[in-house]
Structure 1
Amino acid sequence: MAEKKVISIENRIPKLKEARKKKANKRLIFYLLLFFLLISIIVYLQSPLSHVKHITVKGNDFVEESKIVKLSGITNQNNIWNLEFEQMEKQISNQPAIKEVSIERRLPRTVHISVEEYVRVGYVKGEGQFIPILENGKFLSDSAIDTPNGDAPILIGWEKNSTYLKEMTEELRNVKPSLAAQISEIHWDPKESNPYTIQLYMNNGQEVVASIRNFSEKIQVYPSIASQISPEQKGIVYIDVGAFFVPYDQVQEETPAESDEAEQEGENANETEG
């Protein structure tokens, strides 16, 4: 048998000591790194380096960016890790024009505020200016403008905060933007038999008689009817009961009641002359 090589314990001890020393050094380095990391985190959290430096806002149209930031309560003195987003979102949502809000951190020092505003469905004229009306029926008096930019119809003759106006705005919310852009004015024209009657003036010069109820559904037939009418021919499109077009020269200028009254006055005059 081959003679086995025997390593004495004296030769092994230095190597074991060196291995233990390396292991102890690695453990010491790990603890030192961990210690300095914790110290760095504490210093970072307590220093201006963790304060908010930038605040960005997206999705706002009616409400100014500065106002949204003010409502949030965020300043450059706030620690980016110590912000109560839920409370801030609630504060911003109290603004009538804002529908939804979400806030998020964007490291290292930015807070991003994303808002969704209610849709503007029309304008109402008041004191020489035009006040936007939102889909929830709210008036944005602070956002009044001198001249509408044609992105929504003008509502005329409506009682502010009335049930009829609220229903109308809800219907307009469901009208396609391309179709709503064809409407110039919407007049509330209540009748004794139907208080929901409305009269529309379209950008192409046509008039439309409709009802507030189911307006968003019934107005969809208008483009089809309008496409069959000559541009030179003007009249009234009725979509409240059925859907049809009547040229102006065929529209009766007098109501039946007015005609009866005129006939009665004529008969009285004849009797007097006799």
Structure 2
Amino acid sequence: MLKVVKPIGNQEQESRKPRRKGRWKLWLVLIVLLGAALSVIFFRSSLSQIQQIEVEGNVYVDRSAVIEAAGLRIGGQFFASSATSVQQRIVSNLNAIESATVEKRFPGKILLRVDEYSPVAYELLEDGSVQALLGSGAEITIRDQGLPAEKPMLTEWEGKEEEKAKLCRVLASVPDSLLADLSEIMPAPKESYPDGIRIYTRSRFEVYTTVSLLKDRLEILDGITETQSPGLITMLQSNVYVPFVNTDLETEEGE
């Protein structure tokens, strides 16, 4: 019988193939281990840590409060949180902040830009101090910022935080030109109008309306104060204007 013998060259080629595959596997394992070692070294080094945090755009909110709300700290991991998640934390934790943007600059620098709600009024407290009220209803202690220009003063609102916040949101939706004449706003609830308010204007009018109707009535009020003499205005389902009696004139006529 004849035996078929494979050429020696083919046998050598087949014997080399498993060795080559084994070498590639070994190189792959070494590369993975080297990458893991470099990753550990990198994340333990200062290059992966937050080295500087800057805050821009804050007027009423302290820098430290913004950083705390963002959940950041010097020495923390630079890549631990995405910019989007940091932005969301700032806005959700600080009701004085309307929006925020986060910029990461490698290595180690993070810039937080915040946009605060604008002041819509200020409030005189029982102890005589004054605080600013922002469009979100946030209450901010006034230090060196100064009083908001041509904004109404809120009085007697202690214990009515929910109603006050609702009023601030309404004021934030009104053009500044319609707020300039409002001097003082105080709560004046009635059984039929639980959100009733009394307004005193710089043009010496007294106005009774409600928080829910205020936005729609301010433009009408502006027209009345520009064309009529000071008086009492009731602005509910219908508008009623009664001029104040000139007591000096009545006295002279009586004489």
TM-score range (shorter-chain normalised) is 0.5 to 0.7
* Residue in structure 1 matched with residue 159 of structure 2 by the alignment: 162
What is the rounded CA distance, in whole Å, between the counterparts of 1:105 and 1:7 in structure 2?
Answer: 69
Closer, same or farther in 2 for the Cα pair 1:225/1:69, shift >3 Å? Answer: closer
Per the TM alignment, residue 132 of structure 1 is displaced from its structure 2 partner at its CA by 0.1
CA–CA distance in structure 1, aligned partners of residues 72 and 168 of structure 2: 36
1:144, distance to aligned residue in structure 2 (A): 6.0
Whichever of the two has the greater Rg, that structure is: 1
- Show the 5 A alignment for 1:120-269: 120-125=119-124, 130-134=130-134, 139-143=139-143, 145-150=145-150, 153-156=151-154, 158-159=155-156, 161-163=158-160, 166-175=162-171, 177-179=173-175, 181-184=177-180, 185-188=183-186, 196-201=196-201, 205=203, 207=205, 209-211=207-209, 214-224=210-220, 226-227=222-223, 231=226, 233-236=228-231, 237-240=233-236, 242-246=238-242, 250-253=243-246
TM-score (norm 1): 0.61
Structure 1 residue 241 displacement after superposition: 5.9
Distance 1:77 1:189, change over 3 A: closer
Residue 99 of structure 1 and its aligned partner are, at CA, apart by 8.6
SS of equivalent residue, structure 1 residue 178: coil
Cα gap change, 1:56/1:22 in structure 2, threshold over 3 Å: closer, same or farther? farther
Distance 1:10 1:166, change over 3 A: closer
Aligned to 1:14: 12
SS at match of 2:158: coil
Which residues of 2 match residues 100-115 of structure 1 at below 5 A? 109=108
**Deviation per CA, 1:57-92, whole angstroms, max 9, x where unpaired?**
577442132442256674332234668x99xx59x9
2:96–2:116 contact (8 Å) kept in structure 1: yes
SS at match of 2:208: strand
C-alpha distance in 2 between matches for 1:182 and 1:225: 9
Q: How many residues align?
A: 235
Q: Is the 8 A contact 1:238 1:245 kept in 2?
A: yes
- Would the alpha carbon gap of residues 10 and 23 (structure 1) be closer, same or farther in structure 2, given more than 3 Å must change? same
Alignment RMSD = 4.8
5+ residue gaps, structure 2, are: none
* Stretch moving more, 115-124 or 59-68: 115-124
Match of 2:73 in 1: 75
Percent of aligned positions with the same letter in both sequences? Answer: 16
SS in 2 for 1:19: helix
Is the alpha carbon distance of 1:81 and 1:114 closer, same or farther for their aligned partners in structure 2, counting shifts above 3 Å?
same
SS in 2 for 1:140: strand
Over residues 88-117 of structure 1, what are the superposed CA-to-partner deviations in whole Å (9 max), with x where a residue is unaligned? Answer: x59x93x67469999998876455768786
Between the aligned partners of 1:10 and 1:192, the Cα distance in structure 2 is 109
Amino acid of the structure 1 residue aligned with 2:178 = Q
